[in-house]
Structure 1
Amino acid sequence: MPAPTSPADLYRHSLRLLLDKNIPAWVALWAEDGLMEFPFAPDGWPRRLEGKEAIAAYMRHYPDHIDLYDFPDLRIHQTDDPQTLVAEMRGVGRLRESGTPFDMTYIAIVTVQEGHITSYRDYWNPLAVQEPGADFTGSSR
């Protein structure tokens, strides 16, 4: 089944792939020159990932560090630009190394063009990464 192409459907599909721990399929939703940004990232963490390859490297070990169970409270807001949406949600699961519960609130601004994610600004709480064992991507920070 081909990936959905409407921004909201594509975003919902991307969340399902993350819950399924299917990072290669999640990365395949991205445009080659996609841009992922973390405006609130603390010092030492990446603030900007340019290109599908950089995004894939960042996300490759995500399932090894966090076991996501659900994205409750998902709300998708349409914008004046039909290709851009604002998503609010929580990510719920546990950190694999420590077994500590994980519950993060996210706001994301996502742009989709021609069925691929071209821009993703992820506004998450940087205070959560100050908890012991909270490196949930396994990326080089």
Structure 2
Amino acid sequence: MVNKSEKDQNLPKNAGEIIFNKLLMGLNDSAEAVIDLFHPNTTVEFPYASSLGTTPKMNFEEWYNYLKGGLPSMPNIKYDSIRVYQVDEQTYWTEVYGETRIPTTGQLYQQNWVMYFTLKEGLINFYREYWDPYAVVNAFGNGDLEAVKAVFNTVEK
């Protein structure tokens, strides 16, 4: 799925491209498929998440709970414009566009993501994801921030 020129199609993929493609497939499968790609000591960061009531920094268990709440609400994401940039042997930046129809609102969710991650022992050890919070509120909550919090398991208890 990584964008390459036609002549580069036969080049072997690096570890970052492989794991990123697995991550995109996992996001359309299940929280378990995603979490299996992450190191147990992982840190996941969403720098813009606090504007939506989500903690901007999660450990493995918090990440898993977030995925369990959110993934069923965005089925069959169609990805395009996938790019993976290798910084060094264990560090990568990626870009991807995705869209899906949100079942509960009927809204089309369109998002451009930029992700930064590092690998350890073949798993994602650190993951940071940048995205547009406005697109999330609009698609998942029809403009209602509290509805978005409920979707992603971030409602205050």
Band the TM-score falls in, shorter-chain normalisation: 0.7 to 0.9
Question: Alignment partner for residue 16 of structure 1, among 10, 25, 42?
Answer: 25
Q: CA deviation at 1:43?
A: 5.0
- 5+ unaligned residues in a row in structure 1: which ranges? none
Indicate the SS of the match to 2:96: strand
Higher strand share: 1
Aligned counterpart, 1:67: 75
Indicate the SS of the match to 1:104: strand
Closer, same or farther: CA 54–72 of 1 in aligned 2, 3 Å:
same
Relative contact order, higher structure (CA 8 A, sep 6+): 1
Question: Alignment partner for residue 44 of structure 2, among 31, 36, 42?
Answer: 36
Closer, same or farther: CA 97–43 of 1 in aligned 2, 3 Å:
closer
What's the % identity of the aligned pairs? Answer: 23
Q: How many residues align?
A: 135
Question: Alignment partner for residue 130 of structure 2, among 120, 123, 126?
Answer: 123
| Mapping of residues 1-141 of structure 1, within 5 Å | 6-19=15-28, 21-41=29-49, 42=51, 44-50=53-59, 52-79=60-87, 81-131=88-138, 133-134=140-141, 135=148, 137-141=151-155
Return 67-76 or 31-40, whichever deviates more: 67-76
Post-superposition Cα deviations, 1:86-121, rounded to whole Å, max 9, x if no partner, equal 000112111110111111000000111111110110
Q: Which structure has the larger Rg over C-alpha atoms?
A: 2
- 5+ unaligned residues in a row in structure 2: which ranges? 1-12, 142-147
Task: State the TM-score, normalized to the length of structure 1.
Answer: 0.85
